[in-house]
């Protein structure tokens, strides 16, 4: 390489370094501008789920159900009673059998006082007569049979249907998707051995 060529190459080196530094600074400034504009951009709501039962709502309903059950169990007047509690979008459905109207009113009042409860649907039934230990055992077997049959039916197969049995009278409660599911649940319960009658206290999901 000639002396002149070496001199020209050496002369151009600082300019290239300066040019490279300038390009790097420009690129960093552009990235910083994009980051700032991204932070100030309004959130994208195009993927926001439509109104209705979301995962968050289901979790809230589960918490409400737990809090209602805890309140009922903590009350000395009604803690021994077998209440079924179902919650759907803040609407609480109470079902089961109670000894008297005072217990029923007490249960409703306690439920209404729970945070997250928008309304209370009272489907509890007054007991007709005291049951014996034998009745309770038999009723427990009937309840298990009904629950198993409902879970086994492909058109229903849901844990959302509460089942309470009292002297052969089966009470169905909870929330179902449609009238067909409700009718099928009643028909299945009536076909179970030991069931004398079926009280339908189920509601359609809104």
CA distances from 160 to 55, 142, 147, 168 (A): 16, 18, 10, 21
Which sequence spans correspond to the domains of the chain? 55-123, 128-206
CA distances from 108 to 88, 95, 105 (A): 16, 11, 5
| Proportion of the chain in helix, strand, coil states, percent, rounded to 5 | 50, 20, 30
DSSP code at position 117? -
Q: Does 3.30.1340 match the CATH number of domain 55-123?
A: yes
The pLDDT tens digits for 89-126 are: 899 998 888 878 888 888 889 999 999 999 998 888 77
| Helix (H/G/I), strand (E/B), else coil: 8 | helix
- Pairing outcome for strands 169-176 and 197-204: parallel
For 157-181, what is the mean pLDDT? Answer: 85
| Helix (H/G/I), strand (E/B), else coil: 202 | strand
Q: If one looks up domain 128-206 in CATH, what number appears?
A: 3.30.1340.30
119-126, strands of its sheet edge to edge: 83-88, 91-98, 119-126
pLDDT band at 26; cut points 50, 70, 90: low
For 43-62, what is the mean pLDDT? Answer: 54
Closest CA to 184 of 154, 144, 164, 205: 154
Chain Cα centroid distance, residue 96: 22
């Amino acid at each position: 390489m000639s002396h002149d060529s070496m001199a020209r190459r050496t002369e151009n080196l600082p300019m290239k370094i300066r040019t490279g530094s300038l390009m790097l600074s420009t690129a960093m400034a552009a990235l910083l501008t994009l980051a700032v504009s991204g932070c100030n951009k309004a959130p994208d709501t195009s993927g926001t789920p439509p109104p209705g039962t979301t995962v968050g709502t289901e979790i809230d309903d589960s918490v409400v159900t737990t809090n209602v059950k805890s309140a009922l169990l903590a009350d000395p007047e009604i803690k021994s009673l077998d209440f079924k509690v179902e919650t759907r979008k803040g609407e609480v459905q109470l079902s089961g059998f109670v000894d008297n109207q005072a217990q029923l009113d007490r249960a409703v009042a306690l439920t209404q006082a729970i945070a997250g409860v928008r309304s209370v649907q009272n489907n509890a039934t007054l007991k007709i007569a005291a049951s014996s230990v034998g009745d309770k055992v038999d009723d427990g077997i009937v309840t298990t049979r009904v629950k198993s049959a409902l879970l086994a039916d492909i058109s229903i197969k849901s844990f959302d249907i509460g089942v309470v049995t009292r002297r052969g009278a089966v009470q169905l409660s909870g929330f179902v998707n449609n009238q067909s599911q409700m009718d099928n649940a009643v028909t299945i319960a009536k076909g179970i051995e030991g069931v004398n009658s079926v009280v339908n206290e189920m509601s359609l999901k809104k």
